[in-house]
Structures are given as structure tokens and as C-alpha cells.
Structure 1
Amino acid sequence: MKPKRIEECGCCEIGISPTPEKIQNRPGLSAISYRIGTYPSFKQAMIEAIGKSPELAAWTARVSDDYGI
């Protein structure tokens, strides 16, 4: 199997929020999927949203040991 190149994985695309994740429940499943994200995906979405807010544009903290994060 050929490994994916970084450009193909989609992880570096700008403007695509990691949440909400699309839920696909095909017919006939014994259980349904209901999670639209995980802790890391929601955290990443919030960190990415910081720069989009004019009020927070000057705030440059992005590491997890910062109390604001």
C-alpha cells in the first residue's frame, strides 16, 4: 500500500474546521454514530477560531500550558 503524501491527507488545508464531523449512519446498523467530534477536534477548532476574531487577533498564545487555552 502506498503511503499518503502530506498534501493528500487534508490535514494542512486552510479554512476547513475539524468540527463538526459528518455523521454517516447507513441503514441496517445495530448502533448509530452520534459524535460530531472529539476533544482534540473541538480544541483545534477553537484554537483556529481565535485568529478569526478581531478582539483576539493580538493574542498569540496557542500552546496548551497557557491558561487562556
Structure 2
Amino acid sequence: MSDPKSVEAADPTKKTSKITGPVDNDATVITSEVEIKCFWNDEEFGNGDRVTSGGKTYEANNGMWIEV
């Protein structure tokens, strides 16, 4: 896996997928046979891609950003 891409803070005027907090180890993960892309400030990312913003790292997961 490559290093996370550094991005600007999410701009509310641009397309950005839902951002959620960290997931604990006991969480249920829902998967899909169809990959749902994530967006950050209109830029498209695939599942597993990571970005950093404001000192936090997020991973794209089926249309949502999960803090890792």
C-alpha cells in the first residue's frame, strides 16, 4: 500500500463522501460485489486508498471515508 495522499480539508461545495470515525475491532463490515468509489473534494478514490487531512488519516471503503 502506498503512502496516504495529503489533501485539503473537505470543501462543502465539492463532492466528498461521508466521513466516519474509527471503527473498533468488533465492528461489522458490510461488503459489496460492486466497488463504490469515494470522493474527496471532487477527486475520485478506490477502496483501500488513503488520504490525510488535518492530522488524521482516512481510508476509502465502499463510498465512505473511515478514520484509521
**Shared fold per TM-score greater than 0.5:** no
Q: Give the strand-richer structure, 1 or 2.
A: 2
Please state which band the TM-score falls in when normalised by the shorter chain.
under 0.3
> Which of these two proteins has the greater Rg computed from alpha carbons?
1
Q: Structure 1 length normalisation: TM-score?
A: 0.22
Q: Give the helix-richer structure, 1 or 2.
A: 1
